[in-house]
Structure 1
Amino acid sequence: MIWYTALVLAVAAERLAELAVALRHTRWSLARGGREAGRGHYPAMVALHTGLLAGCLAEVALTGRPFLPPLGWTMVAVVVAAQTLRWWCIRTLGHQWNTRVIVVPGLPLVTGGPYRWLRHPNYVAVAAEGLALPLVHGAWVTATLFTLLNAALMAVRVRCEDGALARMPGADVRV
């Protein structure tokens, strides 16, 4: 369980790094006239992601589930792939990436990197990580709860993002 705790803490550290990047990008966006949408769902998103990390550790500690190597190592690979995709999204979007929905007028819709193939690849990374991280050590209750709650939250979030982009002057965004 010590190495699993280290993995979950590493993911938590990665999330803190994301928040630092997002704060920089928020300042950049707002200084250029960016407008935030969807403030209401943001606290739920923070709570859900915090709950994922806490749930991973709590479920494994309380249930004593063993590490099952075929499942565990496969899920570690999925977690690493999700992190790679997430940072590819961040790099591709540059200053336009954020944990909040902030749209800067006049900036074009990004269609490079993973956005060539998927409209919301970062959310694919979130979904994959939210399923895989708990399953690394058999925390299937946490994986199930996060997946269900995240699906509901992403329905709200994607509508919010698409709507914010579509409302931009001169937007050619098909939602």
Structure 2
Amino acid sequence: MTTSGPHDPNNPYEPMPAAPPVDPREHAAVPAAARPRTVTAAFWCWIAVSAVLVLSLIGGLSIDRAEVEKALREANTGLSAAELDQAASLFVTLAIALPLVFLVVFLGSAFPMRAGRNWARIVLAIFGGLLLLLTLLGTAGASAPIAIALVALIGAAIVLMFVGQSNPYFATRKTGY
């Protein structure tokens, strides 16, 4: 058995030519654009919204289910005892679950948004808009001062993420996590 060399007439394949030399200036690290103040301000707005949600979650954990059922009974809703029991359970569950879901989404997306991830900006805008709508409709269960604070913080955060200074920051970081 013989081996064929690079110039063997029986070997139809030629070796690959050497790669051209690399110019180090072509692969120099491009300095990352500085984070605009608007993105930093939006981040802190989301952190403040998350703090309000933590307070809401604590309030939801302290709800007395019997008091909710009593309030429903006094409202003369016309529900049977079993329906009152289900409605009270649903109210308490939602009072805990909704703030918890929004809290996880906001905290899970605020840090990547601050790092310039466009997907996180979109997630925050969608969930922020949903919470804004629920708060304005009065279904978020927030008192008036808390509702005003939530509306102001969420509105400011969404606007700050999409103003002119923020857009180029997100455009330069469209790849990656």
Query: Could you say whether these structures have the same fold, taking a TM-score greater than 0.5 normalized by the shorter chain as the test?
Result: no
Q: Mark the structure with the bigger radius of gyration.
A: 2
Higher share in helix: 1
TM-score (norm 2): 0.39
TM-score (norm 1): 0.39
